Structure 1
Amino acid sequence: MVVVLVLNSGSSSLKYGLYAVDPEPALLVGGTIETPADDGDDHGRFFDTIETALKGWPTPTVIGHRIVHGGPHRDAHCRIDDAVLADLEAACAFAPLHGPASLALIRAAEVRYPGVPQIACFDTTFHAGMPDIAQTLPIPREYRATGVRRYGFHGLSCESIVRQLGDQMPARLVIAHLGNGASVTAVRDGRSIDTSMGLTPSGGVMMATRTGDIDPGVLLYLLRETELDAKALATLVDHASGMTGISGLSGDMRVLRAAATKDADLAVRMFERSVCKQIAAMIASLGGVDMLVLTGGIGENDGHTGRAVRDGLAWIPGLDVRVIASQEDAQIALHAAALA
């Protein structure tokens, strides 16, 4: 039996779980710590809370981390060493919302559990084999050499859906991971062939605080005609837009449903439309669809969004829509146990 401490650092929360893997992962104890965006990115400071929760349980023999972006040089889950850490430092340029928090956790874990191997599980790995038509961005090709391409994210969630479907895995599957961050992925025969997020986790579906896809001319206009600099623009794109920007209230779907104001309603309807448009795009990439899976916090728990998606895609005859819980952490535990 391998005992894995899983640390899943997201844009709005830190999830932790202690798993016994023998050979399937079984959760022993776990929890979620809310981490507001304006509360800093030093997630290592939460280790006291985590260790209190783990008291009395077996000591982990390996630690698995969800890493949102490994950059251009890391496309496979791996054991963390100095070379990997250097690449993760550089990759923070691609995912400033997630990278620094993950690095802080890795360093804190090294102090708390010296000698315990740490494994990096990348959200981008599932998409690493996408065809060139999906990976290549429509910019001058000389930028490709610096790693500017479509990476795709929520790969661990997608992996977990494929694993759970098992023998029921269809040839043409669309996975809509809908949460604080949201993306839609086209899966053919168990492999990603296209996805809505691109170079960073900011593109694709309109999200809780992120713009999703937006006319690049809007950003150029704001740089040219307002006082915004690159740092302020990054804050606007990742922290102040999406449903938060539209509603002027919150990016939390529960808050918006309860508020029932005109702007909150608009934000919700825009999110639902954005999801439907991205699903339709992935169906085009697949040349049809056999199953749609809704997952993530909103996908699994907000029935209104599920119904809106079904209604928005009612033009597709006989669409098999399923709600399946994302098991990112269990997927990390499996990879960590295998690589320890």
Structure 2
Amino acid sequence: MRLSLAGRAPALRKAATAVIGLRPAAVSTVVGLSLVAAVAVVGFSGAPALAEGDDVTWAVRTASNTYGNDRSSYSYSVNPGGSAEDGLVVSNKGATPLKLEVYAADGLTTSTGQLDLLARDKKSKGVGVWVTADTQTVTVPAGKIVEVPFKVTVPANATPGDYVGGIVTSLTAPDSNAQVNVERRLGIKIKLRVGGALVPSLAVEDLKVDWSGAAFARGDATVTYTIHNTGNAVESAKQAVSLSGPFGWFRTDAAAIAAPPELLPGESWKVSVPVHGVAPAVLLTATAELTPLVTDDSGSTTALASVTGTAHVWALPWTLTVLLIVLIAALIALIWLRRRTRTRRKAREEARIAEAVELALRAKENAVDVTAVPEDA
């Protein structure tokens, strides 16, 4: 695949103008980078590769060599301390000579699931540092093709695993409709696998579930979670989400879920899955199951052992909820009444006993007074 960064200037003019307000000097606005099919925008098919605005008049492709012909991207397996050499072919479709800058940058996955490259002012740590072109600029005559050799040099202390980035051709020029310099880039993806132990791993994090329903009818739930690539390989995954009641009863499976994009090591991807027709089974358990998918050097995809995450939510229909509240209130009232009745009965009994004791004491006093009277009185 090739990377197209052209034709996005209009959407960035407002932001660029704000930057100019702070820095009067010429500003380089990096226009977005996205993966596109070879024939879609920057395909090398003989026709001019023009992006939006018809102001990008060059195209890029991989060189033909021992790595293959007509490759859509670059892919290497290099051990720490090793290197690889390749080439980038640049064709000028315009009527005037074209001077382009050539550099590499690390990759990242955008919020839309597309592969992007770090902006030029951002520091790369992998591919963007290890890939160097023979020249930092190349001049391509009108209607001609020039090949730019480059080299991949992996440090001896590089951590094993997958690294993704790209090699870019760049042209910075004033935008015709705004007072700002715009950098237009075309590049090609580079996937580098550094030799050593490959440890693929995905984790389900921050899993939450929300359920809504009415009366005794089934309701809808939304399960959200984050897929985190905790390994050192580029990974995607098959996903499955289900909800069930106690003991696994009333299980409801979500519809088919689209696979996440290939996540680079350390990256995360947020997922939200609707589940319809969920039974109000009092206490629901949501389960998200991921089956990691890893692609090897030959292009074959392997499914690894699945990982799961769970969360719980109360699912009480309103009718049942109201009934339970009434029953609980009635139970509390009954207990209170019984305790109050017992307390009153005890108070009455204690009063009766106290009265009986008092009467007994009075009777005794009267009896003593009678016996105390002299016989001759």
The bucket for the TM-score relative to the shorter chain is under 0.3
> Quick one: higher RCO (CA 8 Å, sep 6+), 1 or 2?
1
Structure number, greater radius of gyration = 2
Q: Which has the higher helix share?
A: 1
- Normalised by the length of structure 1, the TM-score is 0.26
Q: Which has the higher strand share?
A: 2
